[in-house]
Amino acid sequence: MKKVSVSSLLAQKQAAQKITALTAYDASFAKLFDEQGIDILLIGDSLGMVLQGEESTLPVTIEQMAYHTRCVSKNVQHAFVMADMPFMSYATPEQAYANAAKLMAAGAQMVKLEGGEWLLETIHGLVQRSVPVCGHLGLTPQSVNVLGGFKVQGREAAKAQQLVADALALEQAGVQLLVLECVPTSLAQKVSQQLSIPVIGIGAGVHTDGQILVMHDMLGISANYMPKFSKNYLLECGDIRQAVSQYKDDVISGQFPSSAHSFE
């Protein structure tokens, strides 16, 4: 298998070939997911919740993200490696440049930032400095206290319109990938159709260009609860490798997510 790149991900969108993604936090699982042909591995700041037992992603530090990025990138031959910029690590453009450099030096091929219009200058500056960027709209976990909890976003007409506008603005600023989290299926479909870059969904319905799940949710081992948008593939398959393979096949065939794992 060839190494996945920004160019190959764009080619997948253009060819209507679904993109598969999972979070990963260590070398062993990263190697397993890589061998099963998962396209993107995200070192998510979700590690605060699934590894550290925190109630949110907010306590995660850039040093912790760099450590786990280095662990994941060691054993990856095929997959595209992306890392989250944690809470308040990109409050200013200059801060974002310094912290993105730490993640890229640790082995990331792209960094992911949460937010819309306020990030445009930062994104433009990162791209100018040769740092590929993934945007993240909809439910942005770092804003959980502002949003009032982990809630579906974009159901009201004005907020849906703003999300579309933010997505287009992020693309114009230079993001090469976009994650949409917990938004209605129809809204995610509209964004995916209007953007030329790949759109990866989590709780965003089946019409995005690809899907991502937190690995602990996909394997049914999360400490807290199973989100509506996830599926316990390990329970269904009984073997981790088979579970990953089935998840990949279901995303590619369009069987996952079903309406039971989506929001209207």
Place of tokens 């930032």: 113
Residues tagged in the binding site annotation for 3-methyl-2-oxobutanoate: 45-46, 84, 112
What is the 3-state secondary structure of the chain? CCCCCHHHHHHHHHCCCCEEEEECCCHHHHHHHHHCCCCEEEECCCHHHHCCCCCCCCCCCHHHHHHHHHHHHCCCCCCEEEEECCCCCCCCHHHHHHHHHHHHHCCCCEEEEECCHHHHHHHHHHHHCCCCEEEEEECCHHHHHHHCCCCCCCCCHHHHHHHHHHHHHHHHHCCCEEEEECCCHHHHHHHHHHCCCCEEEECCCCCCCEEEECHHHHCCCCCCCCCCCCCCHHHHHCCHHHHHHHHHHHHHHCCCCCHHHCCC
CA–CA distance, 187 with 74 (Å, rounded to integer): 37
Catalytic residue among 54, 181, 236, 264: 181
- Binding-site annotation: residue ranges: 45-46, 84, 112, 114
- Decide if 171 is catalytic: no
What span, in angstroms and rounded, lies between the C-alpha atoms of 89 and 101? 12
The set of catalytic residues is 181
